[in-house]
Amino acid sequence: MIDDLVMRATFAGAGLSLATGPLGAFVVWRRMAYFGDATAHAAILGVALALALDLPITLGTLVVALAMALTVAGLASRGWGMDTTLGVLSHSALAFGLVAVSWFPGVRTDLSAWLFGDILTVGQNDLWLIWGGAALVAALLIWRWQALLTATLNEELAHASGISPARERLVLVVALAVVVAVALKVVGALLIAAMLIIPAASARWLSRSPESMALLAVAIGMVATALGLQLSLWQDTPAGPSIIVAAAGLFALCGLASRLRG
């Protein structure tokens, strides 16, 4: 029974890594870490709305995460000071979500599952959802890869090449919202941004091209999932945070390997 739980959890983490690897690379390149936090924190509000309206949790989190991402992207395009704006939106969305969820007594005891994930409870339907969402994100990023790279490198160059930076920003916004929706059960709202950033930042130490960084980030995410689950079983620690701890350890190892390599 435990072997089945671990196997499903490992497949869930691998599917999530398929999306967070390349998307996390763009989050690192564009310095969108706080953007990812704001979108992920809004997912808790999506949970509350889904419960209130008797909708699927994934649908509620997707709608709210997308709304938050579009709001932040719209404010950024208008020149708002994003550090303060993102801080206000991120923490406000999380607080509103926590207050709203507390109105449902049956959910209070399970609140940690939404905040930190509960990957060991992933079922067969959840696996289809995670892999379907991850495949959608991966396909979207592969389709727009060159345009996204150009817009990330230089917006003036993108305009000169007939590429709309605003459109490519929208692609990333949609991809981020989908990842948040499918990742909520795996690592939780508070750790989604870490799963996006840490494997990509680790891969940057060892990569020589954007493509190799994205692929290596996928691999590091999968390894971190496997190691984190083993740590969780060995030390009886929460699975979601254990995965992030494993990812942080891999980041340190990649940094050390990069320095030794020179």
Within-domain flag for 206:
yes
Within-domain flag for 24:
yes
Cα separation, 16 vs 222, in Å, equals 8
Within-domain flag for 107:
yes
Q: Count Cβ atoms below 10 Å from residue 203 Cβ, excluding itself.
A: 26
Within-domain flag for 261:
no
Mean pLDDT by 10 residues, the chain (262 residues): 77 92 92 80 84 82 85 71 72 84 63 79 87 92 92 86 86 89 85 92 92 95 94 88 94 91 72
> What is the reported pLDDT for 200?
95
Domain carrying residue 164: 2-256
Q: Which residues contact 242 (CB under 8 A, 6 or more apart)?
A: 228, 229, 231, 232, 235
The CATH number covering residue 182 comes to 1.10.3470.10
Give this prediction's pTM: 0.89
Within-domain flag for 50:
yes
> What is the reported pLDDT for 131?
93
Within-domain flag for 223:
yes
Count how many domains the chain has: 1
> What is the reported pLDDT for 73?
73
Within-domain flag for 29:
yes
Within-domain flag for 187:
yes
